[in-house]
Structure 1
Amino acid sequence: MDSLITAAARALAAGDPLGALDRIALRDDAPALALRGIAMAQLGDLVRAKALVKSAARAFGPKEALARARCVVAEAEIALASRDLGWPVKALEAARITLEAHSDRVNAAHARYLQIRRLLLIGRLDEADVLLAPLDPAPLPPALRAAHELVVAGIAIRRLQSQTARHALTRAEHAAREAGIPALTAEVENAFLVLDTPAACLIVHGEERPLLLEEVEALLSSTSLVVDACRYVVRGAGMSVPLATRPVLFTLARALAEAWPGDVSRETLIRRAFRLKLSDESHRARLRVEVGRLRAALKPLAGIIATQHGFALVALVSSDVVVLAQPVEEKYAALFAFLVDGESWSSSALSLALGTSQRTVQRSLDTLAAAGKVQSFGHGRARRWMTPPMPGFATTLLLPAPLPSD
C-alpha cells in the first residue's frame, strides 16, 4: 500500500473525507476506488459511493479476498445509511467470516455492528441482543466503541430502559470525543435528545400532559391500569392484554379508560368503535356483544359494568386508570416514526420495517406527499422518501418493537 493510500485511509478514519479525496481523487486503482467510495459516503453522496465501492470490489479480483470483504462491509454500511434494508445480509455475514479468518478483527466487528443496527431498525431486538452479547468493545478503536454503545442505547430505548440508555450514551459520548469525529459526536448528541423530549402523552380524567421516556418507564412499572395506545395493550399488576389484532375492543377500552371513573354513553361508544354517526337497535346489540368480549379479555385486570346511560370501567387490581397515547395522534404515525430520523427511505425498506405490504406503504406515502408532509427524490427503485424531523417529539413508542412484558 503506497503512502497516498495510507494517508487517505487515515484521513477517512479521522472523519476527514475531503482530506482523503485530496490525495486520491484522480486515481482509479482498486484501493483508491474503495477509499473514494467511503469518502463520498461520508459526504452524503450515497449513490456515487455505492457505485465506487462496487467498482473497487470488481477491481480487486478473486485472489484478494480480504480487500473484497472490506468492500462488501463498506457497501453494507452505505446500504444501511440509505435505508436499503433489503440488501443481501448473507453477503455481509460471509464477508465478516472472511475478515475473521484473516485476523481483521476491527472490520469484522464493524460488520457485526452493521448487522445489529439493521436488526434494530426493523425491531428485531432479541436477535440484536444475541449478536451483541459476545462483543467486547474494550479492545476496539474509539469510533467502534461509540458505535457499540449507540447500539446498546438503541436497544434500551426501544425497551423503555431509560437509565441503561443514558449510561450507554454517556460512554458513547466519551468514545466519540476520543475519536474526534464530528459526525459521530453529532449522532450521539441526537440520541441524547430522544431521552429529553416527550415520548408519549398521558391522559388522566380528560387532561393531557407529555411524558419523557423515563416517565413512561415509571408509569408502566407502577400500580396504575394503563391502556397503552402506543402498543395497543392494556397493562396492570405485571400483566398485559394485547389488543392490537382486536381494534374494536381496544377502541372501547380506551374510551372507557378516558372517562374513568365515570361512564360513557352507548351512542358515544358506538360512534367511536363502529365509526357511525347514527345508531339503531342492531348497533346497540352489537355493542353489547363487543363489551362482553372486552369484559372477558380484561379479566382479571378490570371489569365493565352497565350504567343507566352506558358502560363504565372498573379497575380490579389497580388504584387508578390512565391512557398512554402517542405523542402525535396521526393515522400515519408509525410511518412518521421512521421518516423522522432525517434519513431517506425506500418504500421497500419501510415495508420491511413496518411489517406491512409495500403497496400499502406506497399508498400512504402518496397520500402524505399530496398533503405536502413528505417528499421524494429519484425514480423507480432509486426513489427515496424523507421528511424534516417533527419538532419537539421523540418517536420511540411509535416504532414496531414489543416491550419485554408483551
Structure 2
Amino acid sequence: MDSLITAAARALAAGDALGALKRVALREDAAALALRGIAMAQLGDLERARGLLRRAARAFGPKEKVARARCVVAEAEIALVSRDVGWIGNALDQAGAVLQAHGDRLNAAHARNLEARHLLLIGRLDEAERLLSDEDAAPLPPVLRTARELVTAGIAIRRLHTGAARAAIANAGRAAEQAGIPALAAEVESAARLLEAPAARLIARKEERLLLLDEVETLLASNTLVVDACRNVARIGQTVVPLATRPVLFALARTLAEAWPGDVSRQTLVARAFRGKDADESHRARLRVEIGRLRGALHALAQITATPEGFALVPQEARNVAVLAPPAEERHSALLALLADGEAWSSSALAMALDTSARTVQRALEQLAEEGKVQSFGRGRARRWLTPPVPGFPTLLLLPAPLPNV
C-alpha cells in the first residue's frame, strides 16, 4: 500500500475526513475509492459514500476478498445510519467471517459491533447481547471499545437496567477520550443525555408527572400494579400480563387504573373501549362480556368489582395502582418515536423495527404525512421518511471506521 493511502487511512482513523480526502480525492484506484467513500460518510454525504464503496468493491475484484469484505462492512455502517437495515444481517455475517478467517481481527470486531447495533435497532436484544458476549473487549482499540459499550448501554436502556447503562456509558466515555475523536465523544454525550431525558409519564390518583429512566425502573420493581401503556401490559414486579393483542381489554384496564381508587361509569368505559357515544343495551352487553374477560386475564393481579355506576379495579396485593404512558401520546406514537431520532427511515426498516407489516406502516406514514407530522424524500425503494428530532432525544452519529491493516 503506498504512502498516500496509508496516510489517508490514518487520517480517517483519527476522524480527519478532510485530511484523508486531500490525499486521495483525485485517485480512482480501488483503495482510494474505498477511503473516499468512508470519508464522505463521515462528512454526511451518505449516498455518494455508498456509491464510492460499491465502486471500490467492484474494482478490488473477486480475489481480493478481505478488501471487498471491508467495503461491505463500511457500507453496512452507512446503511445503519440511513436506516436501510433490511439487507444488513446476512451481509455482515459473511463479511465478518471472511475478515476473521483472514486474520483481520479489528475489522471483524467492527463487523460484530455493527451487527449488534443492527439487532438493537430492530429490537432483538437477546441476540445482540449474545453477539457481544462472544468476544473480550479488552484487547480492542478505543474506537471499537466505545462502539461496543454504546451498544451495551443501548441494550441496558431498552431493558430498563439504568445502573448497567450508566456504567457502559462511563466506559464508553473513557474509551472515546482515549480515541481522541470529537464525533465519537459527541455520540457518547448524546447517549448520556438519554438517561436525563423524560422516559415516560406516570398517571396515578388522577395526577400526572414525567419520569426519568431510573424512576421507571424503580416503579416497575415496586409493589405497584402498573398498567404499562408503553408495552401494553399489566404487571406487578415480575408478574406480567400481556395485553398487546387485546386492545379492548387493555383500554378497559387503563381506564380503570387511571380512575383508581375510584370507579368508572359504564358510559365512560364504553366510550374508551368501543368508541361508542351512547351506552345502549348492545354496548352494555358487550361491556359485560369484555369485563368478564378482563377479570380472567388479571385474576393474578387484581379484581374488578361492580359498583352502582360502573366498575372499579381492586388490586390483590399491590398497595398502589398507576398507569405508565409515553411522554407524549397520539396515534402512531411508536412510529413517531422511531422517527424522532432524526434519521431518515425506509418504510421497510420501520416495519422491521415495529414487527408489523410494511403495508400497515405505509398507511400510517401516509396519514401522518397528511397531518404534516412526517415528510418524505426520494421515490420508490429509495423513499425515506423523517421528522424533526424531539428535544432530549439526540440522534446517533456515524461511527468512524477502524484503521485498515497497513
TM-score normalized by the length of structure 1: 0.95
Structure 2 partner of 1:290: 290
Q: CA deviation at 1:88?
A: 4.6
> In structure 2, what is the Cα distance between the partners aligned to 1:394 and 1:221?
28
Q: Deviations over 1:95-121 (max 9, x none)?
A: 111111111100000001111111100
Any idea what SS the aligned residue of 1:334 has?
A: helix
CA contact (8 A) 1:199 1:394 kept: no
Note the 1:216-295 alignment, pairs <5 A: 216-295=216-295
> In structure 1, what is the Cα distance between the partners aligned to 2:363 and 2:77?
29
Any idea what SS the aligned residue of 1:74 has?
A: helix
Any idea what SS the aligned residue of 2:288 has?
A: helix
Deviates more, 1:113-122 or 1:83-92: 83-92
Structure 2 partner of 1:164: 164
Structure 2 partner of 1:202: 202
CA contact (8 A) 2:351 2:357 kept: yes
Q: Deviations over 1:296-354 (max 9, x none)?
A: 11012100110111100101111111111111111121111111111111111111111
Q: CA deviation at 1:370?
A: 2.1
Q: CA RMSD in A?
A: 1.3
- The answer on 1:379 being equivalent to 2:379 is yes
* Matched letter for residue 79 of structure 1: A
CA contact (8 A) 1:202 1:210 kept: yes
Change (3 A) 1:238 1:64: closer
Deviates more, 1:38-47 or 1:358-367: 358-367
Higher relative contact order (CA 8 A, sep 6+): 2
Structure 2 partner of 1:320: 320
CA contact (8 A) 1:198 1:393 kept: no
> In structure 2, what is the Cα distance between the partners aligned to 1:63 and 1:266?
73
CA contact (8 A) 1:198 1:394 kept: no
Structure 2 partner of 1:43: 43
Structure 2 partner of 1:20: 20
> In structure 2, what is the Cα distance between the partners aligned to 1:337 and 1:29?
42
Any idea what SS the aligned residue of 1:203 has?
A: strand
Q: CA deviation at 1:393?
A: 6.1
Q: CA deviation at 1:372?
A: 2.0
Deviates more, 1:34-43 or 1:79-88: 79-88
Q: Which runs of 5+ in 2 are unaligned?
A: 396-406
Report percent identity of matched pairs. 69
Structure 1 partner of 2:404: none
Structure 2 partner of 1:404: none
* Matched letter for residue 100 of structure 2: E
Count of aligned positions: 395
* Matched letter for residue 147 of structure 1: A
Change (3 A) 1:140 1:393: closer
Deviates more, 1:182-191 or 1:213-222: 182-191
Q: CA deviation at 1:392?
A: 4.3
Structure 1 partner of 2:181: 181
Q: CA deviation at 1:394?
A: 8.7
Q: Deviations over 1:367-402 (max 9, x none)?
A: 22222222222222111111111124699xxxxxxx
Q: CA deviation at 1:163?
A: 0.7
CA contact (8 A) 1:255 1:269 kept: yes
CA contact (8 A) 1:199 1:393 kept: no
* Matched letter for residue 142 of structure 1: P
* Matched letter for residue 379 of structure 1: R
CA contact (8 A) 1:264 1:312 kept: yes
Any idea what SS the aligned residue of 1:279 has?
A: coil
Q: Deviations over 1:161-213 (max 9, x none)?
A: 01100110011011111111111111111111110011000001110000000
Any idea what SS the aligned residue of 1:388 has?
A: coil
> In structure 2, what is the Cα distance between the partners aligned to 1:22 and 1:375?
36
* Matched letter for residue 137 of structure 1: A
Change (3 A) 1:146 1:237: closer
Structure 2 partner of 1:59: 59
Runs of 4+ that moved beyond 4 A:
392-395
CA contact (8 A) 1:66 1:102 kept: yes
> In structure 1, what is the Cα distance between the partners aligned to 2:237 and 2:176?
41
Any idea what SS the aligned residue of 1:336 has?
A: helix
Note the 1:366-405 alignment, pairs <5 A: 366-392=366-392
Any idea what SS the aligned residue of 1:28 has?
A: coil
Change (3 A) 1:332 1:299: same
Any idea what SS the aligned residue of 1:57 has?
A: helix
> In structure 1, what is the Cα distance between the partners aligned to 2:142 and 2:392?
31
CA contact (8 A) 1:237 1:318 kept: no
Q: CA deviation at 1:286?
A: 0.9
CA contact (8 A) 2:142 2:175 kept: yes
Q: CA deviation at 1:358?
A: 1.4
